[in-house]
Amino acid sequence: MAAGLSRRAFLATSLAAGGALIVRPGGDGLGAVAPAHAQSIPDADRFLGKSLAPDAVDSYIAVRGDGTVTIFVGRVDLGTGSRIAIRQMVGEELDLAPDRIAMIEGDTALTPNQGGTGGSYGVARGGVQIRRAAATARQALLGLAATRLGRSADELEMADGTVCARDGSGSVGFGELIGDRTFDLKVDAKAPLKPHDRFRFIGRSLPRPDVPEKVTGHHRYLQDLVLPGMLHARVIHPPALGATLERVDESSIAGIGGARVVRIQSFLAVVAEREWDAVRAARALRAQWSGGGGLPDHAREFDLMRAGRIERDQEVARRGDLSALSAPPPGMRTLRASYRWPMQTHGSIGPSCGVADVRPDRVTVWSSSQNVHGLQNTFSRVLGVERAKVRVIYMDGAGSYGANGADDAALEALLLSRALGRPVRVQWSRQDEHGLDPKGPAQLLDLRAAVDKDGEIAAWETQAWLPIATANLPHIPLISLDSAGLPQTPGRATGLIYQNIDPPYAMPNLNAVVHWVADAPLRTSPLRAPGKIANTFAVESFTDEIAALARVDPLEFRLRRLSNPRGVEVLQKVAARMGWQPRPSPRRADRRAAVMTGRGLAYVHYKHEETIVAMGMEVAVERATGKIRVTRVVAAQDCGLMINPDCVKAQLEGNILQTLSRALHEEIRYDRDRVTTVDWASYPILTFPEVPRLELELIQRLDQPPLGAGEAASTPVGAALANAVFDATGVRLRTIPFRPERVKAALAGQGGAGRG
């Protein structure tokens, strides 16, 4: 296409002038040139050289001469809505409509390092930090205006980008006050925040700015980025994890559109001008590998955890006297159960992608990483280039819930661009993403309780076997650094997976301990609400088991032991919505019925200090097939201040449906060499026909801080489901996933099969 080529030539020159541009070849959208990242502003690079210090107002906010406000956000929007919510927080403090605020996300050259995007902290920490910066800026603007207008600051107010005297005698625009100059101020943690009774933007469900582009196919994802001269690459990952590349037969791809092989030790890739040629070449390339693998027997995964080397024990909670567990007095009953949550993948719908342009004087990498600043450090070290010359720019990819393959694909693009001296785009395959993304680790929990004749919990013990994370690990190890023979700090990342192994209920005698297992079969990373999904599954299932043993209604059992009024409120809201009739589980029903129905609930106080969720579920279980149909999910959530309630609601929906998928269907399997569940057929997830009716209640707390909405509601899902299945069938399921064959076997064993 001649037109495309000439445009490329034109753009190549403008790129050389320093701008990072997207070129869209082809006939649509004549000469379409977009800024380096889709949510950015066209001339974002005018801000290069700005402050990046985390404590400086100028790091977060800039006012241009024309009065336009731009904010710089280190934590990115992964589809959660922080792109609007953070604008609402800044707009509130500056009395400026959110749609008049431009926002730049996750660009190491432009945004301060606020830490990686995760932990439900996008708004709760990142947003709050920027809101304080905006409040500090507000005071500064009022002060400048007071001088300019000859008034005292308390005679002034803000409206639509101006500061004006309340008596209408004068006004001055933000641009006139500070335009194109810096605030030169530290963020003042004590700068007054607007009181909630004067909120104009916070608390409103304003629409997200990215949705119209996403539903019309106009949103620019990382996968859509095209640079002048860019090569398409596919990496041929070893057939067995860590295998050594012995020999490559380059003739095997001869004749495929000029595709060629790049090899750096055991790092093997093919590149081509045209993407399909790279795909074909990757499929056709013959290579000989040796060694690698050495994975343990998947069927024994949990046994091996229990028997594995323990690095150390960690006491998460301990109080009182536990003797009732080992030497129960007469009349005391004891109960024990093991819960298992298997290894699972992020399952991003779009496989990871990375684009890199390594030049002698500067390095630019585009990535959907949740940690662009971490990547900048890693790449600076890998290349031996000073950090300031490495720029990592976030662009949206498919949803990521901890750390999918994005960082790996970015590193691979970097290695290839360095080797070839041209921009390179690496696109992972579905098999790459399922097989190689860092996994949410398997978790094993043993619970014991002593229950007295009145149904009181005389003692509770949780023992959790969890893989240990490496302290101060600079970065999750990247697979292709090892293949390429490049050094990196070995280790493991998991997130804070020990939290919530202890119950949230009042009880005098408690022990909750983690046995930190030295190793795990595959590379791991945080995966949404790290650890706490499995931990809450165990704790809240076991709570139900105790209630059933005591023949007490599960709601009543929880309310009796809960002192936090916000916790009581969410449980009562769910109960009211469900029309909860008090009775013990399981329900009295015909155990031979073809379809058995039941209800269950679960509760969480996330990390014992953040968001509070109660969740009820109704299920129908088919005896003949073992298929569980979730018919209804009712949830109530208190996450403190909601900046944008509809975005919070979307997170609540997503937490429920994603975790329902994990609980019903998902388990990573591997043979001795590699992961074998590498597509959506071998690793199925929830589909539209399975989606239950969702009834959600959100509690707005205008006078409270925001506590985070991205994760908490995923944690009660497993237990609410298991408790509902128990209520329906009398069978307790303790091993995720609840696939039909497992459920059917448990039903056939009627109670016993679900044990242990």
Partner 1 sequence: MARLTLKVNGTAREVETDDPDTPLLYVLRNDLALTGTHFGCGLAQCGACTVLVDGRAVRSCIAPARAVVGSEIVTIEGLGSPERPDPLQAAFIAEQAAQCGYCTAGMVMSARALLARTPRPTEAQVREALAGNLCRCGSHARVIRAVLRASGRASEAR
Nearer to partner 1, 398 or 725 (CB): 398
- Residues 18, 28, 195, 247: which binds partner 1 (CB under 8 A)? 28
State the minimum distance, in angstroms, from the CB of residue 349 to partner 1.
5
* Residue that has been written with the tokens 């100028």 in this structure: 58
- By CB under 8 A, residue 593 contacts partner 1: no
Q: Give the residues across from 613 on adjacent strands.
A: 604, 637
- Residues 166, 214, 608, 755: which binds partner 1 (CB under 8 A)? 214
Nearer to partner 1, 28 or 154 (CB): 28
- By CB under 8 A, residue 463 contacts partner 1: no
Secondary structure class of 92 (helix, strand, coil): helix
DSSP notation for 209-250:
TTHHHHHHT----GGG---TTPEEEEE---SSTTPEEEEEEG
Identify whether the C-beta of residue 411 lies closer than 8 Å to the C-beta of residue 424.
no
- By CB under 8 A, residue 32 contacts partner 1: yes
- Alpha-carbon Rg for the chain in angstroms: 28
- By CB under 8 A, residue 396 contacts partner 1: yes
Give Cα separations from 374 to 36, 78, 367, 388, 477 (angstroms): 20, 17, 12, 13, 12
Nearer to partner 1, 430 or 587 (CB): 430
424-427 vs 353-358, strand pairing mode: antiparallel
- By CB under 8 A, residue 578 contacts partner 1: no
- By CB under 8 A, residue 21 contacts partner 1: no
Question: Which of 57-65, 136-144, 206-214, 439-447 is the region at the interface with partner 1 (rule: CB under 8 A)?
Answer: 206-214
- Residues 157, 456, 569, 695: which binds partner 1 (CB under 8 A)? 695
- By CB under 8 A, residue 208 contacts partner 1: yes
Q: Give the residues across from 164 on adjacent strands.
A: 157, 171
Number of residues this chain uses to bind partner 1 (CB under 8 A): 70
Cα 334 to Cα 100: distance, rounded to the nearest angstrom: 62
Nearer to partner 1, 6 or 288 (CB): 6
Per DSSP (E only), the strands in 344-429 are 353-358, 363-367, 390-394, 424-427
| Number of neighbouring beta carbons within 10 Å of residue 111 | 26
As a dihedral over the C-alpha atoms of residue 589, residue 590, residue 595, residue 597, rounded to 10 degrees, the angle is: 0
Nearer to partner 1, 398 or 409 (CB): 398
Axis-axis angle for helices 532-549, 717-729 (nearest 10): 30
- By CB under 8 A, residue 11 contacts partner 1: no
In 21-67, which residue ranges form alpha helices assigned H by DSSP? 57-60
- By CB under 8 A, residue 422 contacts partner 1: no
Question: Which of 23-31, 542-550, 611-619, 725-733 is the region at the interface with partner 1 (rule: CB under 8 A)?
Answer: 23-31
Q: Which two tokens stand for residue 543?
A: 């709570």
Cα 576 to Cα 591: distance, rounded to the nearest angstrom: 28
Cis peptide before 586 (omega within 30 of 0): yes
Q: Which H/E stretch holds residue 208?
A: none
Question: Which of 349-357, 435-443, 464-472, 607-615 is the region at the interface with partner 1 (rule: CB under 8 A)?
Answer: 349-357
The three-state (H, E, C) secondary structure of 554-569, written as one string: HHHHHHCCCCCHHHHH
Q: Which two tokens stand for residue 545?
A: 């088991």
- By CB under 8 A, residue 29 contacts partner 1: yes
Nearer to partner 1, 36 or 552 (CB): 36
Question: Which of 49-57, 77-85, 118-126, 466-474 is the region at the interface with partner 1 (rule: CB under 8 A)?
Answer: 77-85
- Residues 15, 202, 231, 279: which binds partner 1 (CB under 8 A)? 279
Nearer to partner 1, 81 or 586 (CB): 81
Give Cα separations from 126 to 352, 453, 574, 709 (angstroms): 25, 49, 31, 13
- Residues 172, 284, 419, 694: which binds partner 1 (CB under 8 A)? 694
Question: Could you say which DSSP state residue 127 is in?
Answer: I
- The answer for residues whose C-beta is within 8 angstroms of residue 54's C-beta and 6 or more apart is 112, 113, 114, 129
- Residues 221, 470, 572, 751: which binds partner 1 (CB under 8 A)? 221
- By CB under 8 A, residue 735 contacts partner 1: no
- By CB under 8 A, residue 654 contacts partner 1: yes
Secondary structure class of 329 (helix, strand, coil): coil
- By CB under 8 A, residue 316 contacts partner 1: no
Give Cα separations from 194 to 58, 91, 402 (angstroms): 20, 11, 33
Question: Could you say which DSSP state residue 675 is in?
Answer: B
- By CB under 8 A, residue 2 contacts partner 1: no
- Residues 293, 399, 491, 584: which binds partner 1 (CB under 8 A)? 399
- Residues 55, 176, 653, 673: which binds partner 1 (CB under 8 A)? 653
Nearer to partner 1, 507 or 650 (CB): 650
Pick out residues in 222-261 that bind partner 1 (CB under 8 A): 223-224, 257
How many residues are listed for the chain in this entry? 756
432 phi/psi in degrees, rounded to 5:
-60, -50
Binding mask 355-374 for partner 1 (x = CB under 8 A): --------------------
- By CB under 8 A, residue 1 contacts partner 1: yes
Q: Which two tokens stand for residue 236?
A: 């041929």
Question: Which of 124-132, 341-349, 549-557, 745-753 is the region at the interface with partner 1 (rule: CB under 8 A)?
Answer: 341-349
Give Cα separations from 189 to 128, 129, 136, 198, 583 (angstroms): 10, 9, 8, 20, 50
- By CB under 8 A, residue 282 contacts partner 1: no
Nearer to partner 1, 25 or 328 (CB): 25
Pick out residues in 660-689 that bind partner 1 (CB under 8 A): 679-681, 685-689
State the minimum distance, in angstroms, from the CB of residue 722 to partner 1.
20
Q: Which two tokens stand for residue 455?
A: 């149904």
Identify whether the C-beta of residue 598 lies closer than 8 Å to the C-beta of residue 586.
yes
Pick out residues in 696-715 that bind partner 1 (CB under 8 A): 696
The separation between CA 109 and the C-alpha centre of its own chain, rounded to angstroms, equals 24
Pick out residues in 508-527 that bind partner 1 (CB under 8 A): none
Question: Which of 173-181, 425-433, 497-505, 583-591 is the region at the interface with partner 1 (rule: CB under 8 A)?
Answer: 425-433
Question: Which of 191-199, 340-348, 587-595, 733-741 is the region at the interface with partner 1 (rule: CB under 8 A)?
Answer: 340-348
- By CB under 8 A, residue 395 contacts partner 1: no
| Number of neighbouring beta carbons within 10 Å of residue 17 | 7
- Residues 66, 184, 213, 313: which binds partner 1 (CB under 8 A)? 213
Residues that bind partner 1 (CB under 8 A): 1, 24-29, 32, 78-80, 207-208, 210-221, 223-224, 257, 274-277, 279-280, 346-351, 396-401, 427, 429-430, 646, 650, 653-658, 679-681, 685-689, 691, 693-696
